[in-house]
A and B are shown apart, each in its own frame.
Chain A
């Protein structure tokens, strides 16, 4: 499903930041005292929260833990496996 350029751009940005968070998570699990890594992780989390809030406000929930107008927004299509990500590739 084509979700339009604006939404796809912001979703891809969010996915990149979430992936960065996963990488820092695994690295910090085995290097819990690395202060430089911790600073970069904390910086990334700030950027991530910012983009996540903007995405959810504009396009719909990423998790079910957000307030919703009626009807319940969580069930709206598309689900992640239905989105066409290949634009620009």
Chain B
């Protein structure tokens, strides 16, 4: 069960209309290490988790990723909302405009549509959690690359918040991995 809350997790804002960063932001909207991949990965993996802590962490972080997905869409929307077709073409967003208008379609920065083959769920909690730890690190790196590509203070502030969340999630997944390992070790003793 989910319920929509009529607010963002972070007050996503943009200073100007940096259309080039709007195009690049799609990396975190519909790319391999995007918020969408993260959310669907964790929410797909939670069913086989062996301890309550792990079921909770995957449910809660998976849910938070969807809130981050909304923040990325908000940044893109705010930047492209008032852009003319000519401006979008000049910024390299012509193909996106022709195929999707100004809707925020889940594709990566190069226009490649999102696919479930970016993610895995393989029942083994140790394997799943290692993938999740890697995913958080990769997403952190993408945020650092994005921050290097713009001077817009609003975009940088918002991306910095999201980058910090990757680090917190990595920490929580690390603790979860340790708890699952301890649980599996205890099981072996019986």
Interface residues of A (CB under 8 A from B): 11-12, 14-15, 18-19, 22-23, 25-27, 29-32, 60-65, 74, 79-81, 83-86, 89
Asked if residues A29 and B9 are in contact (CB atoms below 8 Å), the reply is no
List 8 A-B pairs, minimum CB-CB distance, nearest first.
Answer: A85-B11, A86-B13, A30-B175, A81-B74, A29-B56, A80-B8, A85-B13, A29-B57
Number of interface residues of B (CB under 8 A): 33
Interface residues of B (CB under 8 A from A): 3-15, 53, 56-57, 60-61, 64, 70, 73-74, 77-78, 153-154, 157, 168-169, 172, 175-176, 179
> Smallest CB–CB gap between A76 and chain B, Å?
9
Assembly CA distance A51 to B5 (angstroms): 15
> Smallest CB–CB gap between B116 and chain A, Å?
25
Name which residue of chain A comes closest to B154, CB basis. Answer: A86
Can you give 21 A-B contacts (C-beta < 8 A)? A15-B7, A15-B11, A18-B5, A19-B10, A22-B64, A23-B168, A26-B169, A30-B172, A30-B175, A63-B3, A63-B6, A64-B3, A80-B6, A80-B74, A81-B74, A81-B78, A85-B8, A85-B13, A86-B14, A89-B13, A89-B153
Given contacts A30-B176, A32-B53, contact A81 B77 (CB under 8 A): yes
**B interface majority secondary structure:** helix
Residues of A within 8 A of B9 (CB): 15, 18-19, 22
Asked if residues A89 and B10 are in contact (CB atoms below 8 Å), the reply is no
Residues of A within 8 A of B179 (CB): 30
Asked if residues B3 and A15 are in contact (CB atoms below 8 Å), the reply is no
Given contacts A30-B175, A32-B53, contact A25 B7 (CB under 8 A): no
Asked if residues B60 and A26 are in contact (CB atoms below 8 Å), the reply is yes
Name which residue of chain A comes closest to B11, CB basis. Answer: A85
Assembly CA distance A61 to B14 (angstroms): 26
